[in-house]
Amino acid sequence: MPADDEMSDSNRTDPTDTVRIGAQRFEQSPYYECYANPDTVLGVAAERFYPADNGEDPIEIYRALRQQAALFDVPEKPWQIEGPDAVPFLERIFARRVGNLAEGRGRYAIACTAEGGTYMDGILFRLEENRFWYVQPDGALEQWLLAHRTGFDVSIDDPRSRVLQIQGPNSMRVMADATGGAIDEGMKYFGAGYFEIGGQRLYVSRTGWTGELGYEIYSDGAATDHRRLWNDLFEAGAPHGMVFGSLAAMGIRRIEAGILDNLSDFDPSMTPFEAGLGAFIDLDKDDEFIGRDALRNADRRTLLYGIKCGSTTPYRGAEIFDGKTRVGRLTAADWSPGLDCGIGIVRFDKPGDWSGNTLVLKTGEHDFAECEIVDLPFYDQEKRIPRGLAPAD
C-alpha cells in the first residue's frame, strides 16, 4: 500500500513508494483479480483496498476520462439505515433536509460534530420510504451512527456492496448498452434505481467523483457475480473507448473539479463553511441536527482555495508563503493536463481574501516557486459537465 505521504518530501507524489503492512483487517476488492498485475499498488480507505496505481500512465487514463470513458474500482462504502425512525434519525445526523428526498434520488449530505466540525460527507440515497443508503468515503461512519442511534427505531447494516464508477462523456452510452437501453437521458444527475446488467439486478446512480458525466454501480454483496459484472461492463464499454484506471488519474480530475476528500482536504477541525461547503448546510431546517448550534455563530469564510503553479508540479503537504510568513499548506496536488500547469488544493491557516493573490510555494528544501491562488473548482463552476451540458467556461 502507499506509504504515509507525510514521511518525506521525496515520496509525496510517488504512489509506488510503499511500505509492507498486514492485510488481515482490510477488505480486498472482489474485482482485484480482474486488473491486478505485478505493478499494482493498493491503498486503503474505509478499511477497503483500492488500486492507487496499476502501472498505467495516469495521463492516458485522464485523457480517456475526459474524452471517452473510464472505469474505476473505488473504496466508497454504502451503509444501510432502515426502520420506522429512519427519517428523523437521519435528520438528526445530517445538516440537510432528508424528509423531502424522493425515492430514487440521491443527495450530498454532511454530518457534523457537536462543535460544528465536518465529520463526514457522502451521498444519501432513498431506496424506499424508510430505507436509505449513505455512501461514505474514508472515516468511521458506522461507529458514529451507532453512537447516536439511542432513542430511534432504526437498524444500521453493511450491505457488503462494492462500488464501480464509470465516468466520462461516453458513460451514458456505455450504461445504455449495459442495461439494454434502460438507462438513458431520462436518468438525471443524482438519479438512482435498480437496473439489470447482464441479468444481475443492481443499484445504479448517476453520480461520481470526477466532475464528469458518470455513473456508480453498487454490487449486491455475495449475490453478485463480480467477475461477470466486470466482463459485462467492459463488453458494453469497449465500443465506446472505455478503459480501466486507478485512482491516480481520478485524483487529477477531482482536484480540477474541486471535489474534496474527507480527512485529506478537510477534517473535524474545520467547519463546513471553512471547507467551502456552506451551501450544503441548512440551518433553517425544521429538525435539529448535530452541530447546528455551533454553526449558527461560525465564521462563514472558507479556508480552502485552488492553486495554479505554472510549470511546477506541487506536492501534497507543501507549504505556501506570503513573503516570509507561512500561510497554508497543500492538501492535494498534481499536474493538470487540461490546464497545462501544476494544481492543488490549499488549506490556509486563517481566512482571508486569498483568491487572485500571487504567493510562494515551497518546492524543495531551498526552492520556491510563484503560484496563483484561485477559487474552486478550477473550471465548470456551475457543474454543467456532470449534468451532460457543455461547460460555460
Q: Are strands 242-244 and 69-74 parallel, antiparallel or unpaired?
A: parallel
Is residue 12 predicted with pLDDT exceeding 50? no
Is residue 132 predicted with pLDDT exceeding 80? yes
* 332: enclosing H helix or E strand: strand 325-336
Instruction: Answer with the residue of higher pLDDT: 25 or 43.
Output: 43
Q: What is the distance between the alpha carbons of residues 340 and 309, in angstroms, rounded to a whole number?
A: 10
Q: 325: domain range?
A: 304-374
- CATH code for the domain in which residue 335 is found: 2.40.30.110
Asked, for residue 380, whether it belongs to a domain, the answer is no
pLDDT-derived band at 11, boundaries 50, 70, 90: very low
Cα of first residue to Cα of last residue in the chain, in angstroms, is 38
Q: What is the distance between the alpha carbons of residues 114 and 93, in angstroms, rounded to a whole number?
A: 10
pLDDT at 393: 63
Asked, for residue 388, whether it belongs to a domain, the answer is no
Cell triple for 223: 449475490
Own/partner contacts of 189-192, CB < 8 Å, gap of 24 or more, are 189/386, 189/387, 189/388, 190/105, 190/106, 190/107, 190/123, 191/104, 191/105, 191/106, 192/104, 192/105, 192/106, 192/125
Question: Which pLDDT tens digit goes with each residue over 202-234?
Answer: 999 999 999 999 999 999 999 999 999 999 999
pLDDT at 4: 42
- Given 270, 300, 330, the domain boundary residue is 300
Whether 192 and 255 map to the same domain: the answer is yes
pLDDT at 9: 39
Cell triple for 383: 457543474
Listed residue (256, 258, 211, 215) closest to 383, CA to CA: 211
Whether 271 and 338 map to the same domain: the answer is no
List the 163-167 sheet strands across, edge first: 192-197, 200-205, 214-218, 163-167, 69-74, 242-244
Is residue 112 predicted with pLDDT exceeding 70? yes
pLDDT at 367: 82
Whether 185 and 154 map to the same domain: the answer is yes
- CATH code for the domain in which residue 213 is found: 3.30.1360.120
- Which residue shows C-alpha cell 430514487? 104
The total number of structural domains that make up the chain: 2
Listed residue (55, 42, 50) closest to 3, CA to CA: 42
Query: Which one-letter DSSP state was computed for residue 54?
Result: -
Whether 213 and 258 map to the same domain: the answer is yes
pLDDT-derived band at 2, boundaries 50, 70, 90: low
- Quickly list DSSP for 99-162: TTPPTTBEEEEEEE-TTS-EEEEEEEEEEETTEEEEEE-SS-HHHHHHHT-TT---EEE-----
pLDDT-derived band at 8, boundaries 50, 70, 90: very low
Asked, for residue 289, whether it belongs to a domain, the answer is yes
Whether 191 and 260 map to the same domain: the answer is yes
pLDDT at 205: 98
Asked, for residue 264, whether it belongs to a domain, the answer is yes
Residue 377: cis peptide before it, omega within 30 degrees of 0:
yes
Whether 187 and 310 map to the same domain: the answer is no
Is residue 5 predicted with pLDDT exceeding 70? no
pLDDT at 16: 65
Question: Which pLDDT tens digit goes with each residue over 158-210?
Answer: 999 999 999 999 999 999 999 999 999 999 999 999 999 999 999 999 999 99
Instruction: Answer with the residue of higher pLDDT: 12 or 163.
Output: 163
Whether 176 and 318 map to the same domain: the answer is no
**List of residues 6+ apart from 248 with CB closer than 8 A:** 15, 52, 53, 54, 56, 58, 61
Listed residue (215, 219, 186) closest to 200, CA to CA: 219
Asked, for residue 363, whether it belongs to a domain, the answer is yes
pLDDT at 1: 54
pLDDT-derived band at 390, boundaries 50, 70, 90: confident
Whether 86 and 135 map to the same domain: the answer is yes
- Given 300, 322, 342, the domain boundary residue is 300
Asked, for residue 387, whether it belongs to a domain, the answer is no
Return mean pLDDT, the chain.
93
Question: Which pLDDT tens digit goes with each residue over 250-301?
Answer: 999 999 999 999 999 999 999 999 999 999 999 999 999 999 999 999 999 9
Question: Which pLDDT tens digit goes with each residue over 299-310?
Answer: 999 999 999 999
Whether 309 and 259 map to the same domain: the answer is no
- Which residue shows C-alpha cell 492535494? 332
Whether 179 and 250 map to the same domain: the answer is yes
Percentage, residues of the chain above pLDDT 90: 90
Whether 194 and 335 map to the same domain: the answer is no
Is residue 3 predicted with pLDDT exceeding 70? no
Whether 169 and 227 map to the same domain: the answer is yes
pLDDT at 14: 64
Cβ atoms of residues 83 and 274 within 8 Å: no
Cβ atoms of residues 91 and 289 within 8 Å: yes
- Given 282, 300, 318, the domain boundary residue is 300
Asked, for residue 386, whether it belongs to a domain, the answer is no
Asked, for residue 392, whether it belongs to a domain, the answer is no
**List of residues 6+ apart from 269 with CB closer than 8 A:** 117
**DSSP-derived 3-state class of residue 336:** strand
